[in-house]
Amino acid sequence: MTQPLWDKPGTRIDARIMQFLAGDDVLLDREFFLHDITASKAHVEGLANIGVVSAAEATALKRELDTLAADFASGEFVLDERFEDGHSAIEARLTERLGDAGRRVHTGRSRNDQVLVATRLWLKDKLGALESHCRAIANVCLERAAQPALPMPGYTHLQRAVVSSTAMWFAGFAEGFIDNAWRARQTLALIDANPLGTAAGYGVNLKLDREHTTKALGFARMQVSPIYAQLSRGKFEMAVLEAIAGALLDLRRMAWDLSLFTTAEFNFVQLPAEYTTGSSIMPNKRNPDVIELLRASYASVAAARTEIEQLLSLPSGYQRDLQFSKGSIFHGVRRGLGALELVPDLLVRLQWNGPTMRAAIEPAMYATDVAIEQAAAGVPFREAYRAAAQAAASAGQGRTPEDSLAIRVSPGAGDDLRLDELRARLALLEC
């Protein structure tokens, strides 16, 4: 490993302890290395604005940072165990190429605000992806909810309850994913604050141009207090994981439905072939593995959130414990977004099996319609309910599933899905 940035007379370095301290940290830093470089450019501009580096040095530093980004992207520069971390690698490279200008780059910053700003930019990107996946899912659900509704049983307690429809099923998930997209947007607003320029967590004796770095990096506001900047590490990561978890919670239930509906016992739905796999031993099998992993992805996000929550039992100020939050967010976010990304295409190509769903609608499922009709005609509901319970087996006489959906006029129900209202809510996200 190259000399650590903090090496100075009196420092003793033990390889095993270094390995424990740094571990896979430098490899994790690959994930947001480009963001670290972007933030470094803004920092250089800020230093030039207050005369800490000359205009010529700033130009050279920014040019080298661009070259480093390009070399990293092409694979020519590999971020590996030669460096303690990505932050050290940036300074080492600038120093190697530019000498003293490179040695000036860390003026007024600390790895503590450097890791914060790189993570924050990365989290903002991921929230953008979360919002767009949720919008794409909501869009497909709305489109499919507008197609002719196929009646299907609606379940409570997994027992046949009342007549439902494919349109109601899709509309339900559409509304859920519109909310999930909004939550991504709101979480972005929460974390959209620039921590760069807070240094180790207590500011510095330089008039850093934090307004410039805030603007240059596209943050909505400056995170003013250096102490709060440190307090927000982990807290904001958790907020992002919670936003992803909200979406995955809906996805988990959707995947549960699909894994049930695709069994021979239900036979309500056929998954696109690519979303199923074969068995290594049972030649007859087509398994819904993809659906099962969509369902399982929630666990990774929840685990990542829990790991960070456990790490955050800390006093204020930077603590090295926080380093372990990186692996969890990378893993949790990758799993979560990777799952959501697959959903729109899956939903576009789901094939419902109308006749089996219809055949699963039994006469007693009209009993609620019967009781409410009586109640609307003036019979006290509890009385109508008892009468309908006694005659439940014949409640379906003269009724079809379509009738049941057509009289379900309460807002949001079968005859009044209010898809326009949902579309308008989704469209608001376009601005």
Q: Which residues are catalytic?
A: 157, 279
To ligand ARG, the closest distance from the beta carbon of 85 in angstroms equals 5
Residue with Cβ nearer ligand ARG (321 or 420): 321
To ligand ARG, the closest distance from the beta carbon of 152 in angstroms equals 50
Residue with Cβ nearer ligand ARG (94 or 322): 322
Size of the site for ligand ARG (CB under 6 A): 10
Residue with Cβ nearer ligand ARG (135 or 326): 326
Span 336-395, contacts to ligand ARG by CB under 6 A: none
Residue with Cβ nearer ligand ARG (79 or 392): 79
Residue with Cβ nearer ligand ARG (57 or 91): 91
Q: Is residue 90 a contact point for ligand ARG (CB under 6 A)?
A: no
The residue length of the chain stands at 431
To ligand ARG, the closest distance from the beta carbon of 61 in angstroms equals 21
Q: List the one residue from 298, 318, 352, 366 that touches ligand ARG (CB under 6 A).
A: 318
Nearest of 36, 96, 100 to residue 69 by alpha carbon: 36
Residue with Cβ nearer ligand ARG (157 or 320): 320
To ligand ARG, the closest distance from the beta carbon of 41 in angstroms equals 19
- Judged by CB under 6 A, which stretch of 91-99, 290-298, 315-323, 405-413 contacts ligand ARG? 315-323
Q: List the one residue from 38, 40, 112, 198 that touches ligand ARG (CB under 6 A).
A: 112
- Judged by CB under 6 A, which stretch of 212-220, 283-291, 318-326, 360-368 contacts ligand ARG? 318-326
Residue with Cβ nearer ligand ARG (166 or 325): 325
Residues 107, 220: Cα–Cα separation, whole Å: 25
Q: Is residue 120 a contact point for ligand ARG (CB under 6 A)?
A: no
To ligand ARG, the closest distance from the beta carbon of 86 in angstroms equals 8
Q: Is residue 320 a contact point for ligand ARG (CB under 6 A)?
A: yes
Site string for ligand ARG, 12-41 (x = CB under 6 A): -------------x----------------
Q: List the one residue from 57, 64, 85, 91 that touches ligand ARG (CB under 6 A).
A: 85
- Three-state SS for the chain is CCCCCCCCCCCCCCHHHHHHHHCCHHHHHHHHHHHHHHHHHHHHHHHHHCCCCCHHHHHHHHHHHHHHHHHHHHCCCCCCCCCCCHHHHHHHHHHHHHCHHHHHCCCCCCHHHHHHHHHHHHHHHHHHHHHHHHHHHHHHHHHHHCCCCCEEEEEECCEEEEEEEHHHHHHHHHHHHHHHHHHHHHHHHHHCEECCCCCCCCCCCCCCCHHHHHHHCCCCEECCCHHHHHHCCCHHHHHHHHHHHHHHHHHHHHHHHHHHHCCCCCCCEECCHHHCECCCCCCCCCECHHHHHHHHHHHHHHHHHHHHHHHCCCCCCCCHHHHHHHHHHHHHHHHHHHHHHHHHHHHHCCEECHHHHHHCCCHHHHHHHHHHHHHHCCCCHHHHHHHHHHCHHHCCCCCCHHHHHHCCCCCCCCCCCCHHHHHHHHHHHHC
Residues 71, 117: Cα–Cα separation, whole Å: 22
Contacts of 363 (CB under 8 A, 6+ apart): 392, 393, 394, 395, 396, 397
Residue with Cβ nearer ligand ARG (195 or 246): 195
To ligand ARG, the closest distance from the beta carbon of 107 in angstroms equals 17
Q: List the one residue from 111, 135, 210, 252 that touches ligand ARG (CB under 6 A).
A: 111
- Judged by CB under 6 A, which stretch of 146-154, 314-322, 328-336, 337-345 contacts ligand ARG? 314-322
Span 321-340, contacts to ligand ARG by CB under 6 A: 322-323, 326
Strand-pair partners of 151? 165
To ligand ARG, the closest distance from the beta carbon of 3 in angstroms equals 15
The number of beta carbons lying within 10 Å of the beta carbon of residue 364 is 19
To ligand ARG, the closest distance from the beta carbon of 320 in angstroms equals 6
Which two three-digit tokens encode residue 343?
A: 């959903």
The position carrying tokens 């963001």 is 35
- Chain residues binding ligand ARG by CB under 6 A are 25, 85, 111-112, 115, 318, 320, 322-323, 326
